[in-house]
């Protein structure tokens, strides 16, 4: 299977990343090791799991050979993601040979999809836990410790883990993910998420704001609010007197501090409102970047996909975003070769990409997932070589669009939040501008991670802007309504 990403939504660089906490770990007797696959949501969930385990006497290790408990937090979104986990499990067989007492657990979407079948298929696995059952992990570990296999894949209509303070794993200390809701009610025909993550539910707004405040106090300078469809965030206080929409939540988080940047992902084209766009425009610390997955540019395919919008609706949203925020970065997810897709449908996708002028694209070819609406209703009838060729064309066009977008930044000055050393040189910083573009520049004297720096863009290479710091390092306030 072939699959290509030009940037990071399902951060390929982080797939299978082994986590260790940034804070000193007091627990040394029992150790857990966790690897995460898939979307940002899964990485955020691993931090909740770490917190639950920490409270039950487990310390984290980055070395699975010394772990008493090895966990894989899995993804089911495409077949390739599941194959990666299967392969990883076969690597872990050796660990069991050396340390038969070690327990192996599978968490996340693949656990939810396969349930106890997982135990039959993969004899190595001792524990299977779905995304809504992490609180029961300590009891499941005890059960598995007695030699029994332990499974909990119950989905919940309420669980949001809102009271659990995630332990930040492998963090740069500057940017963090904050989960604001779970599940999805949308039933896009190709997608397994509603089956693996259950019904949509919104987390207590004040627990979100508090988590962001605490992150800021600990030196973090950017939070990304996560949900499968953030625009349908809707929280009502237990007394029923207060309702908080996504626009209101954005505002509450933006007001934590003008120096805290706010991002969010993912927006659904049918749900993103003018209220959200105007809130973004009003606060300088809400980043001007929207990930607005289109999936296809053909009305016929969009209908089969059950996306509930048309290409005309989508184009009107793009126009509206640019009208309200002319400098807003926009990216998209695109699926090539969905059931019955013709050359004309594919051309519609390419034309829509040209219209939207995406800064980034995350592009996949269709992978049928068991149990989804598409798997039940339609035939996966586009031959693999055609899917591959269409994906190639989509990727090629996106490269050109990304290049044009990045070239347009040369000569401009952007405020960049420093996230850490650049990959290539410790003499350079790497950060992002508000549009989420990666900027690399030589370290000015006395600058440090978490500072805001004004950087003039000199050139661009691939997906990276290369620049020079100009003026002073701004711990200066970003002007927002809050600071006026």
- 357, with CB counted inside 10 A (0-12, 13-18, 19+), is middle
Residues making up the chain, counted from first to last: 484
Give 334's contacts (C-beta < 8 A, 6+ positions apart): 293, 294, 295, 296, 349, 353, 361, 362, 363, 364, 394, 398
393: Cβ–Cβ under 8 A, 6 or more apart, which residues? 346, 350
Looking at the Cβ atoms of 78 and 268, the one nearer to ligand SF4 is 268
* Nearest distance, CB of residue 300 and ligand SF4, angstroms: 18
Residue 390 touching ligand SAM (CB under 6 A): no
Sign of CA dihedral 313, 318, 324, 330: positive
Q: Indicate the pairing of strand 17-18 with strand 360-365.
A: unpaired
Tell the smallest beta-carbon distance from residue 311 to ligand SF4 (Å): 17
Nearest Cα residue to 364 out of 348, 387, 383: 387
Of 265 and 422, CB closest to ligand SAM: 265
**Residues in contact with ligand SAM, shown as a per-residue x/- string from 240 to 279 under the rule CB under 6 A:** --------------------------x-x-----------
Q: How far is the CB of 160 from ligand SF4 (least distance, A)?
A: 17
Size of the site for ligand SF4 (CB under 6 A): 10
> Rounded to an integer, what distance in angstroms lies between the CA atom of residue 239 and that of residue 73?
36
Binding mask 32-71 for ligand SF4 (x = CB under 6 A): ----------------------------------------
The answer to whether 414 contacts ligand SAM (rule: CB under 6 A) is no
How many residues touch ligand SAM under the rule CB under 6 A: the total is 18
Which of residues 179, 207, 367, 434 is near ligand SAM by CB under 6 A?
367
Q: Is 293 in the site for ligand SAM (CB under 6 A)?
A: yes
Binders of ligand SF4 among residues 233 to 272 (CB under 6 A) are: 268
Whichever of 188 and 301 has its CB closer to ligand SF4, that residue is 188
Site string for ligand SF4, 100-119 (x = CB under 6 A): --------------------
Asked whether position 78 contacts ligand SAM by CB under 6 A, the answer is yes
DSSP 24: P
CB 294 within 8 A of CB 332: yes
How far apart CA 295 and CA 307 sit, in angstroms, is 9
Burial of 101 (0-12, 13-18, 19+ CB in 10 A): exposed
Does residue number 196 form part of the binding site for ligand SF4 (CB under 6 A)?
no
Binding segment toward ligand SAM, per CB under 6 A, in 173-181, 187-195, 277-285, 296-304: 187-195
Candidates 161, 190, 233, 264: give the one binding ligand SAM (CB under 6 A).
Answer: 190
For ligand SAM, the binding residue among 295, 296, 331, 422 (CB under 6 A) is: 295
Is 191 a binding residue for ligand SAM by CB under 6 A? The answer is yes
Cβ 186 to ligand SF4, closest distance in Å?
4
Q: Which of 364, 429, 441, 452 binds ligand SAM (CB under 6 A)?
A: 364
225 touches, from ligand SF4, ligand SAM, none (C-beta below 5 to 8 Å by class): none
d(C-alpha 251, C-alpha 479), whole Å: 14
Neighbouring-strand partners of residue 243: 236
The CA distances from residue 136 to 57, 118, 179, in Å, are 15, 18, 20
141 or 184, CB closer to ligand SF4? 184
> Using CB under 6 A, which of the segments 191-199, 252-260, 283-291, 390-398 binds ligand SF4?
191-199
Contact between 186 and ligand SF4 by CB under 6 A: the answer reads yes
- CA 484, CA 478: separation in Å to the nearest integer? 10
The answer to whether 50 and 57 are in contact (CB under 8 A) is no
Residue 293 beta carbon to ligand SF4: minimum distance, rounded to whole angstroms: 7
Q: How far is the CB of 110 from ligand SAM (least distance, A)?
A: 13
Residue 308: count other Cβ atoms within 10 Å of its Cβ.
15
Mark the segment that binds ligand SF4 (CB under 6 A) among 144-152, 184-192, 414-422, 475-483: 184-192
In the three-class reduction of DSSP (H, G, I as helix; E, B as strand; rest coil), residue 253 is classed as helix
39 binds ligand SAM (CB under 6 A): yes
Decide: residue 30, CB within 10 A, 0-12 exposed, 13-18 middle, 19+ buried: middle
Return the beta strands (E) in 400-463 as ranges.
413-421, 428-432, 438-442, 452-461
Q: Which of 406, 427, 436, 425 lies closest to 469 in space, CA to CA?
A: 427
Tell me if 216 contacts ligand SAM by CB under 6 A: no
| Residue numbers at the binding site for ligand SAM (CB under 6 A) | 39, 77-78, 190-191, 193, 228-229, 266, 268, 293, 295, 333, 335, 364, 366-367, 369
| Residue numbers at the binding site for ligand SF4 (CB under 6 A) | 184, 186-188, 191, 193-194, 228-229, 268
């Amino acid at each position: 299977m072939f699959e290509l990403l030009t940037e990071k939504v399902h951060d390929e660089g982080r797939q299978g990343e082994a986590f260790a906490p940034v804070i000193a770990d007091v627990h040394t007797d029992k150790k857990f090791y966790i690897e995460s696959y898939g979307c940002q949501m899964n990485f955020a969930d691993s931090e909740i799991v770490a917190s639950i385990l920490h409270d039950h006497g487990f310390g984290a290790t980055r070395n699975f050979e010394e772990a008493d408990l090895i966990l894989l937090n899995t993804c089911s979104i495409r077949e390739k993601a599941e194959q990666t986990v299967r392969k990883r499990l076969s690597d872990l067989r050796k660990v069991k040979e050396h340390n038969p007492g070690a327990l192996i657990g599978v968490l996340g979407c693949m656990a939810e999809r396969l349930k106890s079948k997982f135990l039959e298929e993969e004899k190595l696995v001792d524990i299977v836990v779905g995304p809504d059952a992490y609180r029961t992990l300590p009891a499941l570990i005890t059960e598995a410790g007695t030699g029994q296999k332990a499974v909990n894949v119950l989905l919940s209509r309420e669980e949001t883990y809102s009271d659990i303070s995630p332990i930040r794993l492998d963090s740069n200390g500057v940017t963090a993910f904050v989960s604001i809701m779970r599940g999805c009610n949308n039933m896009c025909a190709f997608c397994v998420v509603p089956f693996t993550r259950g019904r949509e539910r919104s987390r207590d707004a004040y627990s979100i704001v508090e988590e962001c405040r605490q992150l800021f106090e600990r030196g973090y300078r950017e939070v990304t609010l996560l949900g499968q469809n953030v625009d349908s965030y809707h929280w009502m206080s237990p007394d029923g007197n207060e309702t908080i929409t996504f626009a209101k939540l954005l505002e509450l988080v933006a007001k934590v501090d003008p120096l805290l940047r706010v991002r969010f992902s993912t927006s659904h084209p049918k749900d993103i409102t003018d209220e959200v766009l105007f809130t973004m425009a009003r606060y300088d610390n809400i980043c001007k970047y929207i990930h607005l997955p289109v999936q296809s540019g053909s009305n016929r395919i969009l209908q089969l996909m059950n996306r509930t919008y048309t290409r005309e609706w989508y184009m009107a949203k793009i126009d509206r975003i640019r009208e309200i925020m002319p400098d807003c970065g926009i990216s998209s997810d695109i699926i090539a070769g969905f059931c019955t897709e013709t050359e004309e449908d594919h051309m519609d996708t390419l034309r829509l990409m040209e219209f939207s002028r995406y800064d980034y694209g995350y592009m996949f070819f269709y992978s049928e997932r068991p149990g989804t609406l598409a798997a039940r209703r339609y035939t996966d009838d586009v031959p693999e070589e055609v899917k591959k060729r269409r994906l190639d064309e989509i990727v090629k066009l996106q490269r050109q669009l990304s290049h044009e977008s990045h070239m347009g930044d040369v000569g401009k000055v952007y405020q960049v939040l420093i996230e850490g050393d650049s990959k290539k040189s410790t003499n350079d910083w790497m950060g992002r501008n508000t549009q989420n573009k990666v900027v690399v520049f030589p370290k000015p004297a006395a600058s440090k991670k978490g500072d805001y720096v004004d950087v003039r863009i000199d050139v661009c290479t691939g997906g990276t802007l290369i620049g020079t710091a100009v003026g002073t390092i701004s711990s200066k306030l970003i002007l927002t309504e809050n600071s006026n």
